[in-house]
Amino acid sequence: IRFAIFASGNGSNAEALYQATKEGHLHGEVVGVFSDKEEAFVLERAAKWDVPTAQLSPKAFASKVDYEQAVLDQLRSWQVDFLVLAGYMRLIGPTLLNAFPNKIVNIHPSLLPAFPGKDAIGQALAYGVQVTGVTVHLVDAGMDTGPILAQRAVEVQATLEQTEACIHAVEHELYREALDQLWNEERMK
């Protein structure tokens, strides 16, 4: 399975997935890293891995369709089978959804459908939940909606920082496991 990682920021999930492919724990190949943000740290990480990167700013295009068409051209040149969103802070539009039906996966730091959207961990703590978690799901046109592939619970810790650390550690493991299972099923088709 040839996959592209989409990320807008730090890229710790991207890093964990890339390392998992190298260590043989995830049976797929990162063929490119795409970011909508020029300053995204994930681009520096990918440069170290020797994986091609592409960066396009939506603002440079007249419409979302034009932007996603340019993204699609890049993905075609990388011959991508799956898109793996890892902190990509934009909704996927019809251009990419139609080009990759049921082949776009996202990870979200809550037990969906609770706390979709930005700052899910902050939302969960503000609500006062004692258990939150991580969800891996197929992407549809909604915000953090789409069929759930895997979920794992995480207990809220004494501080925000500790809760975040637990959630990120679970993310790095759960994303690899969920993708590996999805792609095993894909190979059986």
Which residues are catalytically annotated?
108
Smaller CB separation from ligand GRF, 95 or 106? 106
In the bound state with ligand GRF, the residue whose beta carbon lies nearer, of 61 and 114, is 114
d(CA 118, CA 104): 19
Minimum separation from the CB atom of position 14 to ligand GRF (A): 6
C-beta of 52: minimal distance to ligand GRF in Å?
Answer: 19
Between 11 and 28, name the residue whose CB sits nearer to ligand GRF: 11
Contact residues: ligand GRF, CB under 6 A: 7, 9-14, 86-87, 107-109, 171
Residue 85 C-beta: closest distance to ligand GRF, Å: 7
Residue whose CB is nearest to ligand GRF in the complex, by number: 87
Secondary-structure percent of the chain, ordered helix, strand, coil, rounded to 5? 45, 20, 35
Contact 145, 113 (CB under 8 A): yes
Q: Detail the DSSP E strand segments found in the chain.
A: 2-6, 29-35, 53-55, 82-85, 104-108, 131-138, 148-155
Q: Which residues contact 39 (CB under 8 A, 6 or more apart)?
A: none
